[in-house]
A and B are shown apart, each in its own frame.
Chain A
Amino acid sequence: MPVEKVLIAVLGSDRPGIVAAVSRVLSENECNIEDVSQTILQSEFAGVFMASLPKGLSMEALESRLQEHLKPMDLSVLIKPVRLSIRYEPPPSQPFVVTTIGPDRLGLVAGITEVMARFGVNITNLRAAFRGGTDPRRNVMIYEVDIPLHIDQQAFRKALRQRAQDLGLDLSLQHRDIFEAIHRV
């Protein structure tokens, strides 16, 4: 089956011109950018681009053209085909926001996400909101998650709270609607 879409990940030290370089190669090769997200973690750039492949252009050919332009800029590129047939179909679920606050240490995210994975809770967004300084109370992780309706909600809450307690974290679990209600008219 011919590849119609690709996902391109670009990593490297942040500076002006990265998105311009990637999008120029894509545009010159008639690849339309359908979706894009970029973030900067500390000083590192990470961007993912979902693009369509025109007929007659192979994924391998696109990859080598990207490498050719981006390698000299010291950017790493990873490209993979997107197979629409093996898409994850999420079960009916409700959006929640989990926040953990507490001193940083090894394995916090692994510990929390293990419980989420065990209950089939999908993370839709994850970020650290460090607010500077050495105060452990200012060390915050924010997980936006979808909790399937069919799982035992009480058991999930209990397991999650227990895990947070074991990790020395203060955890809150709130339905997303509360944030929308308070902040958005």
Chain B
Amino acid sequence: MLSDREILSTLEMLRSEHLDVRTVTLGISLFDCADSDVNAFCEKIRQKILRLAHDLVSVCDEVGDKYGIPVVNKRVAVSPLAVVGAAFGREELVKAAQALDDAAQIVRVDFIGGFSALVEKGFTNGDVSLMDAIPDALAKTQRVCASVNVASTKAGINMDAVHMMGQIIKRTADATADADGIGCAKLCVFANIPPDIPFMAGAYLGVGEPEAVINVGVSGPGVVRKAIDRARRSNPGLDLGQLAEVIKHTAFKVTRVGELIGREVARRLDIPFGVVDLSLAPTPNVGDSVGEIFQSLGLHSIGVPGSTAVLAMLNDAVKKGGAFASSYVGGLSGAFIPVSEDLNISEAARRGHLSLEKLEAMTSVCSVGLDMVALPGDTSAETLAAIIADEMAIGVINRKTTAARLIPVPGKKAGEKAYFGGLLGEATIIPVPNGELSTEFICLGGRIPAPVQSLNN
């Protein structure tokens, strides 16, 4: 017999604290679709996605219904297109992106990831073509997401790729200028990208992953915040060690939900189960914010002094709870701090509590990096590249994943607002101080060598 407390607390988590499974992502390998003819290639990838993802949405809905926990987003991630379509040029890869978009629309998933290249150590011809195709591909599709890994702890930072990504981000913003550069919201530059992330825009199916796999991303910033609030209300004397324990317990519960639902979806689709990515991923809704957790822990706002410490504690507690709840925790697992997607963080940026520099500092302990940051439209490609380079360095040296999803909003200045709509939210454009003073450094190019691992500091 279940106890009343167990039942009522679960209901509470679901009803007023936004407990949900944020995303179920079906990874599909496209390696067997390789073909030298682009039309044949597009047809093969379309057919394969339709075959494997045909029931994804309905099965997720049925399983969500059974447990009373909604699966909010259903996505598909595919093998990196720069590898599968290495034989193609720019135009052909744009065509492939459109084929991905069509397939995603037919199977009713909201995003499809994997328009990706891994260039941390150098470029193949396919990588260059794909990177070149990104602006067009993102402008001509609705659902396709792109990512480029330009750095890793083992390889160092490919600064030529970093410079190119600065230029590609500019071109992508221009190609989607009528929608505040929304194409850039679907483009992520990574260091140490994991091959099993279920969250967009970074999701792709890495080499070494199965033919098809179900990865689950659970979230729950609202649940964590309410748990902290409740604990502090019932015992105002709690210290940070005790509050970390509260976060850990909550993360455990949320992860168990994700694993249960992910495994059932995988079983029904007859596809192996991969990992649970336990990341506190906010949405632009009140009560579903990572920023609010900072306030519950006594900071006036995210971004003020103390924010990095809070984020470090939060990230660690979330990982500890998740690691005990599931044997297969993967992806990013930690806390996202996307500016536009989180109402509270967006507001902190608007009020000036959160600057680009503080955001960057916080990314040394968060799960991703500079995420959904709106910048002035006249920020140069070299300045963007320099910001990316800093972010990559944090990842490379700290052996962690970092990413930059920067949006130079065409025609807008610092202080103005950019609107992306839906889950992508809106953000006040933040200034880039001393922006134009990095060009010479960026133009040096080359590869920043991999760091020595034995002399830690």
Contacts and interface: CB of A to CB of B under 8 A. Distances in A.
Contact of B256 (A101, A142, A157, A181): A181
A174 to B, nearest CB: 3
A144 to B, nearest CB: 7
28 contacts: A97-B7, A99-B7, A127-B4, A129-B4, A129-B8, A140-B4, A140-B8, A157-B65, A173-B68, A174-B10, A174-B67, A174-B68, A174-B69, A175-B66, A175-B67, A178-B68, A178-B257, A179-B2, A179-B7, A179-B10, A181-B260, A182-B6, A182-B10, A182-B253, A182-B256, A182-B257, A183-B9, A183-B10
A101 B14 CA distance: 14
A177 interface: yes
Given A144-B1, A157-B65, A177 B6 contact: no
Contact of B67 (A127, A142, A177, A183): A177
A180 B14 CA distance: 15
Given A177-B260, A182-B257, A125 B69 contact: no
A133 to B, nearest CB: 14
Contacts of A101: 11
Nearest to A101: B11
Interface in A156-175: 157, 172-175
Contacts of A182: 6, 10, 13, 253, 256-257
Interface of A: 97, 99, 101, 125, 127, 129, 131, 140, 142, 144, 157, 172-183
Size class of B's contact patch?
20 to 34
Nearest to A140: B8
A143 to B, nearest CB: 10
Contacts of B67: 174-175, 177-178
A173 B65 CA distance: 8
A157 B68 CA distance: 12
A111 B75 CA distance: 40
Interface of B: 1-2, 4, 6-11, 13-15, 65-69, 253, 256-257, 259-260
A178 B6 CA distance: 10
Nearest to B324: A185
B260 A178 contact: yes
A142 B10 contact: no
Contacts of B66: 174-175
Contact of B7 (A142, A157, A175, A181): A142
A52 B2 CA distance: 29
B2 A144 contact: yes
Contacts of A97: 2, 7
Contacts of B257: 178, 181-182
Which 4 pairs show the lowest CB-CB distances between chains A and B? A174-B68, A181-B256, A129-B4, A183-B6
A178 B69 contact: yes
B241 to A, nearest CB: 21
A53 to B, nearest CB: 28
Contacts of B9: 183
B404 to A, nearest CB: 36
Contacts of A157: 65
Contacts of A140: 4, 8
Contacts of A177: 67, 260
Given A129-B7, A180-B2, 19 more contacts: A97-B7, A99-B11, A142-B4, A144-B1, A144-B2, A157-B65, A172-B14, A174-B66, A176-B2, A177-B67, A178-B10, A178-B68, A181-B259, A181-B260, A182-B10, A182-B13, A182-B253, A182-B256, A183-B253
